[in-house]
Amino acid sequence: MVKLRIGHPEDPDYQERLEEFEARIARGEKIEPGDWMPAEYRRQLIRMISQHAHSEVVGMHPEGAWILRAPSFRRKLILLAKVQDEAGHGQYLYHAAETLGVTREEMLEALLSGRAKYSNIFNYPTLTWADVGIIGWLVDGMAIKNQTMLAQSSYGPYSRAMVRICAEETFHHKQGKEAVLLYAKGSRKQRQMVQDALNRWWWPTLMMAGPHDTDSPHTPLLLRWGIKTKTNDQIRQEFLNEHVPELLDAGLEIPDPHLRYDEKTGNWIHGPIPWDEFWKVIGGEGPMNRHRLETRRRVHEEGRWVREALEAYGRRRLAQAAD
């Protein structure tokens, strides 16, 4: 493992090194694991990357529940591939976080104990097959807006993980859109099913981008250090401008009576977001919070024998190499 070089405000050369660090970011250089970095830069990255990794892993569950109930063999294969991708995304991100000196065990313990956060969106149930399509088109659509921004992150391992993840998320987005458009043109029952799914997932999807910029205390520092290159509201606006026209063209009704198009700015303007619901879900009181954590704890325990077998195999290989 690369030795970390962490700076603290009380260090005598901290200010000088901080200026050099910020100048590198301003030039568009990537910060790598062995480079000097402020302790707060490292802390913010561990917080963000580990939460992102947890979201990918927990995010397997809402759609994974439909693998055995997919309406066709083709849809089953697509969904299997997607859920497998999400597991891989979690691996990429855990590896990226580990370059900052935090262990996989520490991150998983924080998740399983309930101390760590993950995306609010995965604490909602998938009630019908149409939910899988809406997740693919809208939830993954919002994720792509965020992840393409993070692909420009100043931290090299995070940026490179995002480039790889975005390529696969594009596939998820396309298959979700295809499914939704198919149902939107289908029977009356199919149209009702997909409209109901849109009604339930619309606001949680908008919340995915995070609180408004005025209520996001981390944003100024994340922008200053290039961890993020856009604000929450900018990402949300990009999502609206792309997806609202497409949803309306599909004949679907967006469940926002205040939604309007601003001719001057060319932006779609949404109505008040129900932030009370967002903070309730983030606080652990969403429809599926307890179930998601219980499932992760059970799966983690059931997989213990695999981890122990891998560790034993690793020890044996080391012993053989030493002989």
Per the structure, the complete domain to which residue 163 belongs is given by 5-273
Domain assignment present for 278: no
What's the pLDDT at 153? 97
Q: 262 and 309 share a domain?
A: no
308 and 228 within one domain = no
Q: What is the pLDDT of residues 16-67, one digit of tens each?
A: 999 999 999 999 999 999 999 999 999 999 999 999 999 999 999 999 999 9
So what's the pLDDT on residue 322?
86
For residue 222, is it within any domain?
yes
CA distance 36 to 18: 9
What's the whole-number mean pLDDT along residues 230-257? Answer: 98
- Statement to judge: residues 295 and 262 lie in one domain: no
- Mean pLDDT for all residues in the chain: 95
Query: Which pLDDT does position 1 carry in this prediction?
Result: 65
- What's residue 3's pLDDT? 87
Predicted TM-score (pTM) of the model is 0.93
Q: What is the mean pLDDT of residues 262-277?
A: 97
Same domain, 269 and 292: no
Residues 118, 247 within the same domain: yes
State residue 2's pLDDT score. Answer: 77
The reply to whether 22 falls in a domain is yes
Q: What is the mean pLDDT of residues 109-131?
A: 95
Residue 74 domain-assigned? Answer: yes
Mean pLDDT of 131-151: 96
Residues 128-154 as b or e (16 or more Cβ within 10 Å = b): bbbbbbbbbbbbbbbbbbbbbbbbebb
pLDDT for the residue numbered 323: 78
Listed in sequence order, the residues at least 6 apart from 252 whose beta carbon sits closer than 8 Å to its beta carbon are: 180, 184, 194, 195, 198
Counting the structural domains of the chain, the total is 2
Report the pLDDT averaged over residues 81-102.
96
Q: What is the mean pLDDT of residues 134-144?
A: 97
Are 304 and 225 part of one and the same domain? no
Q: What is the distance of C-alpha 153 from the center of its chain?
A: 15
Tokens of 40: 């707060």
Residues with Cβ within 8 Å of residue 176, at least 6 apart in sequence: 132, 133, 134, 135, 136, 137, 138, 140, 141
Cβ contacts of 206 within 8 Å, gap of 6 or more: 142, 236, 239, 240, 270, 273
Residue ranges of E strands in the chain: 5-7, 36-38, 260-262, 267-269
Residue 280 lies in a domain: no
What value does the mean pLDDT take over residues 209-220?
Answer: 94
The answer, yes or no, to whether residue 215 has pLDDT greater than 80, is yes
Residues 59 and 36 in one domain: yes
Does residue 226 have a pLDDT over 70? Answer: yes
For residues 212 and 140, is the Cβ–Cβ distance under 8 A?
Answer: no
Q: How confident is the model at residue 269 (pLDDT cuts 50, 70, 90)?
A: very high
